[in-house]
Structure 1
């Protein structure tokens, strides 16, 4: 977060251990919400839909704070060495909510797979985890326009002995075992590209995927080039490299696989419109990229104005 800003921080009582306890609480609460939904036959968001575009922004301004669900995944939203929330999405949220008149951010840690259920159960107000927009997710939440549009890459042994450049290369080589992150879009891209499920290993998080590479469990890991380059900088001793960025092509058509955005419940259209106005201002002024650069983002990752959430949801 911006050190020069007088904006209140999440609070002096937040510790790394406390946040981890919070993550467990999120998991339990999501499970409880799921049980309640099963008994009632509908989810909490269905019971509490707000008409006329929703009142989320009004409620956040009255409260003076916003609860942001995050998955502790660098370089998007994660805890630094002082247990403070940082990362690309955290910085963007800080700037946008400051412009929207919401002065305090309350980080709520969660497993990545529990973010959407947690949002729908009311455990936080918004997901801010660099979550990729996908048609499946669009059916469950309402996305803001993308804050980034990342290219894909592979983590491979130095020298790239399998000569992997795109997912089509993985599909064509029956000896390549591919690693992806649980719940990440790369698994879908791999399967749509013809990579058999038997050759795909799903890892819980980025560190375990790197360990899987080092331990020889997989021959490559698919993720955004941003995430892989960030992770490799933390393991400079590893005999690994990141391939050149590429844009996936499925059925002969380029697809937008990693356009990351914030998410709210589907009834909050007024909030998304207000958020998008401020996000577009940051993008068009160059301020968005300035905030993203320290986390490994480049001009190539800034979304084009025509790349909207609605367009990505329709692909």
Structure 2
């Protein structure tokens, strides 16, 4: 093969490689078209009731997955492939292209919005604390706890509470990072932590299925309500936008309100906003 032929062959190979990157990369402007063609969308979740719950036979349900099912049907995608991931691993899995959407009641924060695109919020949620019955340490707010050196708190690793406590200077033995809410509850019950910091709906769900006489929920009225939402890759704004359109048509509907009631939730409409795109 002559020099010209080798040059042509190299050029052709380069073009084919670029085409492969364009058509087969996980992101791209035509993410919805790609998902409709394959018929499968990969949705990541972390178990945190009532936002994401494992049912009696292991099926995934909860506020975020049930909304996702409705939206996916409206978008014309025939099948959902569910991926259970610890909370702190959801955004890395999304950015690596191993899942297409996060449906886990993930709260919108500025730090997360630098890494993912968020949909409109699905509700407004108050922050709270799980404490021993009678609240013997008199805990009323996250800010107060951060300033008390005699208080140890449990948080889910990678959660908004984890970020907030670290930002307020809570570290070392005062900050116990746990993989899930049940482990956090055990930490409070055994005295390893004075409180588990989590959203009010999650903590009330937990007490409704445990021994409420031993624990109680204290709500932080000082913090602004958190805004849970779905998350998407940064290079898929069109996919996020069409998801958002279907979401807007569903939120507040009779079907949506009935679904929330089945998980002991009521709808607090958030101010319409999108963070990160």
Name the TM-score, length of structure 1 as normaliser. Answer: 0.74
Q: Deviations over 1:121-148 (max 9, x none)?
A: 2212111111111112111111111112
Asked if residue 271 in structure 1 is aligned to residue 246 in structure 2, the reply is no
Taking the TM superposition and a 5 Å limit, the aligned residue runs for 1:5-154 are 48=25, 54-154=29-129
Return the TM-score normalized by structure 2: 0.84
In structure 1, stretches of 5+ residues that fail to align are 1-43, 249-254
SS for the counterpart of 1:149 is: coil
Per-residue CA distance 1:133-189 (angstroms, 9 max, x = gap): 111211111111111221001101111122222112213433221111111111222
CA contact (8 A) 1:132 1:260 kept: yes
Give the deviation of 1:297 after TM superposition: 2.2
Work out the CA distance in 1 between the residues paired with 2:146 and 2:91.
30
What is the CA distance between 1:195 and its match in structure 2? Answer: 4.1
Instruction: Note if contact 2:43-2:99 (Cα within 8 Å) is conserved in structure 1.
Output: yes
Secondary structure of the structure 1 residue equivalent to 2:165: helix
Aligned to 2:263: 295
Q: Which residue of 2 aligns with 1:8?
A: none
Q: Secondary structure at the match of 2:137?
A: coil
Deviations 1:66-90 (A, max 9, x none): 1111123322223211111111111
- For these two proteins, the number of residue pairs brought into alignment is 256
Give 1 or 2 for the bigger CA radius of gyration.
2
- Structure ranking higher on relative contact order (CA contacts 8 Å, 6+ apart): 2
- In structure 2, C-alpha distance between the alignment counterparts of 1:185 and 1:167, rounded to whole Å: 12
Please tell me whether residue 309 in structure 1 is matched to residue 277 in structure 2.
no
Where does residue 227 of structure 1 map in the other structure? 202
1-structure distance, mates of 2:167, 2:264: 28
Q: How far, CA to CA, are the matches of 1:175 and 1:268 in structure 2?
A: 46
Q: Structure 2: how far apart are the matches of 1:119 and 1:79?
A: 21
Secondary structure class of the residue paired with 1:243 = strand
Give ranges in structure 2 of 5+ residues lacking alignment.
1-20
Counterpart-to-counterpart distance in 1, 2:93 and 2:130: 31
1:240-255 residue pairs with structure 2 within 5 A?
240-244=215-219, 246-248=221-223, 255=224
2 CA distance for matches of 1:309 and 1:247? 23
**1:295, CA displacement in angstroms?**
2.1
**Structure 1 SS opposite 2:188:** helix
